[in-house]
């Protein structure tokens, strides 16, 4: 099948990663297949999942259908999955990699990421969200086991997620196969300019998660009886500056937010389970219309700071640590 042209970023080894992918966190197994179908029909070729999302098998079924019917060739797809925190030690990597490949029904993934810098103890029959810290986590030996996945042909490229600049640099310096990509929270309210520049200097590409500000995340937390009353929640999708830019360009706020990320050469992986929004999120990124005005959007951050009376507007970076694991741990 002829794919629409999606711009890409290029890894140091020459491999390419499409600048736009479909995020699938909080997309249950019941709905994710339909979302992946809609995305592939639209022209997305990059799908982002993780062992922790619990939806790899459903995604795998849909991908298999496309591959078996000859609608896509494997090399046209870019599939990303992630090692869970409970696998953050050298001897666990191969096991989790194989589990993900089995669920996805693939012989390799295009990019395998260490989901988090923080490791958790792995206990028999325990939840993957078990949050007992593993104080013996060693990033260097863990990375060697990640490199072995490339050697074994299970991952074309390897990378990191939720690692800070110092941690990334340490791995780059010790690596035989350096990380190709760093996936972090990044959106117009949390632009990560220093980190992006730092990664660029190290030849590590960056992927933005929560590029729309993750509007469903507070609802996700409240499902488990938690509220965000002590944390300023701002919505880039309803920001008046973003709305103004959208109106000016005849686009939607989501399109403006995504364009603002990808025009910096940062990959964006907006999640949607809604076929119309999946199409909406794809259009502006592949269009050749005039890009979103940078100065206008840069002001948005100042606006956000003022409104929140704090620079801590990043949802995940605060809350994953503070709340998410506590809640999920209760749930499992």
Is residue 209 annotated as part of the catalytic site, yes or no?
Answer: no
Interface segment toward ligand NAP; rule CB under 6 A; list 99-107, 152-160, 164-172, 264-272: 264-272
Q: What are the residues whose beta carbons fall under 8 Å from the beta carbon of 141, sequence distance 6 or more?
A: 89, 90
- Nearest distance from residue 115's CB to ligand NAP, in Å? 6
Distance CA 186, CA 181 (A): 14
Residues 244-263 touching ligand NAP, rule: CB under 6 A, are 254
Q: What are the residues whose beta carbons fall under 8 Å from the beta carbon of 71, sequence distance 6 or more?
A: 1, 40
Indicate the residue among 28 and 151 with the shorter CB distance to ligand NAP.
28
Question: Is there binding between residue 78 and ligand NAP (CB under 6 A)?
Answer: no
Distance CA 312, CA 330 (A): 26
Residues 118-157 touching ligand NAP, rule: CB under 6 A, are none
Question: Is there binding between residue 20 and ligand NAP (CB under 6 A)?
Answer: no
Q: What are the residues whose beta carbons fall under 8 Å from the beta carbon of 115, sequence distance 6 or more?
A: 50, 51, 52, 82, 83, 84, 85, 161, 162
Q: Which residue in the set 62, 100, 161, 205 belongs to the binding site for ligand NAP (CB under 6 A)?
A: 161
Quick one: tokens of 92? 């666990």
Report the residue closest to ligand NAP, judged by CB: 23
> Given 44, 53, 112, 209, which residue is catalytic?
53
Interface segment toward ligand NAP; rule CB under 6 A; list 86-94, 140-148, 205-213, 286-294: 205-213
Q: Which residue in the set 213, 239, 267, 325 belongs to the binding site for ligand NAP (CB under 6 A)?
A: 213
Distance CA 282, CA 301 (A): 24
- Please report the sign of the dihedral spanned by the C-alpha atoms of residue 100, residue 104, residue 110, residue 115: negative
**Which residues of this chain interact with ligand NAP, rule CB under 6 A?**
23-25, 48, 115, 161-162, 183, 209-217, 237, 254, 269-274, 277, 280-281, 316
């Amino acid at each position: 099948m002829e794919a629409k042209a999606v711009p890409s970023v290029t890894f140091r080894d020459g491999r390419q990663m499409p600048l736009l992918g479909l995020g699938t966190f909080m997309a249950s197994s019941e709905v994710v297949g339909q979302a992946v179908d809609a995305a592939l029909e639209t022209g997305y070729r990059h799908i982002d999942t993780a062992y922790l999302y619990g939806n790899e098998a459903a995604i795998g079924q849909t991908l298999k259908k496309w591959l078996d019917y000859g609608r896509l060739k494997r090399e046209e797809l870019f599939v990303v999955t992630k090692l869970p925190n409970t696998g953050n030690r050298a001897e666990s990597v191969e096991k989790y990699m194989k589990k993900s490949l089995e669920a996805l029904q693939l012989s390799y993934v295009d990019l395998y990421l260490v989901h988090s810098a923080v490791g958790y103890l792995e206990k028999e029959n325990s939840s993957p969200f078990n949050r007992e810290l593993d104080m013996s986590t060693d990033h260097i030996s863990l990375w060697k086991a990640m490199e072995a996945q490339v050697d074994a042909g299970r991952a074309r490229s390897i990378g990191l997620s939720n690692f800070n600049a110092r941690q990334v640099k340490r791995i780059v310096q010790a690596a035989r196969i350096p990380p190709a990509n760093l996936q972090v929270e990044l959106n117009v309210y949390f632009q990560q300019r220093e980190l992006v520049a730092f990664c660029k200097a190290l030849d590590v590409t960056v992927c933005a998660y929560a590029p729309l500000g993750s509007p469903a995340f507070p609802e996700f937390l409240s499902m488990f009886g938690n509220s965000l009353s002590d944390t300023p929640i701002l919505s880039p999708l309803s920001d008046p500056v973003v709305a103004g830019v959208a109106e000016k360009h005849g686009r939607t706020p989501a399109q403006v937010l995504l364009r603002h990320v990808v025009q910096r050469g940062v990959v964006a992986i907006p999640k949607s389970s809604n076929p119309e929004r999946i199409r909406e999120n794809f259009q502006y990124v592949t269009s050749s219309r005039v890009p979103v005005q940078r100065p206008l959007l840069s002001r948005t951050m100042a606006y956000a700071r003022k409104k929140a009376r704090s620079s801590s507007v990043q949802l995940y970076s605060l809350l994953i640590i503070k709340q998410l694991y506590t809640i999920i741990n209760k749930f499992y």
